[in-house]
């Protein structure tokens, strides 16, 4: 059973699911989405981890998928293919948008929250024009530390973000992550040069993503 934290000063509930199968989590999202749309449930943020899985958004090309027969789950979010797995914090904000037609602004706020998480850990992260997600920029090129893929239906969001805390980055070598071939993938642990746990990062994600969601949620 998920651990549920009721909202305090915000109208956003938090559910912590631990490690949960992707397909099961997707159904949980759909159920919560329907309840938020109907007005019988508050805006809700799901935080969890997935067992190792590849998911492909609507814009994914066949050439960007694994070529060795590795299973891929096709999903109804935006964006392209990515990997989820242990060592990665996945967040699904299911919220009624203050401005349902301003999806870009919603994505920018999620990015800002994740940038603040990185900053608190001593990592200088940023946005990159024309590329969603959160990035580390360097002389050797750009490195993606968090991916974002969103869907909005009836003014309520689904899907969300994945922040690489300390996953096995080799899992990204089997695909073209997010369809971007000229950039690398990184993690908090890699940037810090030391191991770091989900438990250490999760409170920062909760705080900063809540701050971001309060600005864009109805």
- Strand-pairing partners, residue 106, are none
**Dist CA 132 CA 106 (whole Å):** 11
Question: Which of the four pLDDT bands, split at 50, 70 and 90, describes residue 117?
Answer: very high
The per-residue pLDDT for range 70-94, each reduced to its tens digit, is 889 999 887 888 899 999 999 999 9
The per-residue pLDDT for range 164-180, each reduced to its tens digit, is 999 999 998 877 665 55
Is 118 catalytic? The answer is no
Contact 42, 7 (CB under 8 A): yes
* pLDDT for residue 62: 84
Segments making up each domain of the chain, as ranges: 3-216
- Catalytically annotated residue among 72, 178, 198, 213: 178
Superfamily grouping for domain 3-216: Bira Bifunctional Protein; Domain 2 (3.30.930.10)
Q: Average of pLDDT values for 33-49?
A: 97
* pLDDT for residue 112: 97
* pLDDT for residue 6: 44
Identify which of 34, 30, 42, 50 has the alpha carbon closest to the alpha carbon of residue 5. Answer: 42
Q: Where are the beta strands (DSSP E) in the chain?
A: 3-5, 12-19, 43-49, 53-56, 73-74, 81-84, 88-94, 126-128, 131-138, 141-153, 156-164, 184-185
| Confidence (pTM) | 0.91
- Sheet strands side by side (includes 73-74): 73-74, 53-56, 81-84
168: which residues sit within 8 A by CB, 6+ positions away? 85, 86, 87
Contact 5, 13 (CB under 8 A): yes
């Amino acid at each position: 059973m998920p651990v549920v934290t009721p909202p305090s000063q915000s109208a956003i509930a938090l559910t912590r699911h631990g490690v949960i199968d992707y397909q099961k989590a997707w159904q949980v999202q759909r159920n919560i989405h329907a309840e938020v749309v109907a007005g019988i449930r508050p805006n809700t943020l799901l935080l969890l981890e997935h067992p190792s899985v590849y998911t492909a958004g609507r814009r994914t090309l066949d050439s960007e998928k694994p070529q060795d027969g590795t299973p891929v789950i096709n999903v109804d979010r935006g964006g392209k293919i990515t990997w989820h797995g242990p060592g990665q914090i996945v967040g699904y904000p299911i919220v009624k948008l203050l401005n349902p037609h301003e999806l870009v602004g919603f994505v920018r706020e999620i990015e800002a929250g994740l940038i603040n998480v990185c900053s608190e850990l001593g990592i200088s992260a940023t946005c990159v024009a024309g590329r969603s997600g959160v990035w580390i920029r360097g002389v050797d090129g750009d490195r993606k530390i968090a991916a974002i893929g969103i869907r909005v239906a009836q003014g309520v969001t689904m899907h969300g973000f994945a922040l690489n805390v300390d996953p096995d980055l080799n899992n990204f070598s089997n695909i073209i992550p997010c369809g971007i071939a000229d950039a690398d993938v990184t993690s908090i642990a890699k940037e810090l040069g030391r191991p770091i746990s989900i438990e250490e990062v999760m409170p920062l994600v909760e705080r900063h993503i809540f701050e971001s969601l309060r600005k864009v949620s109805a």
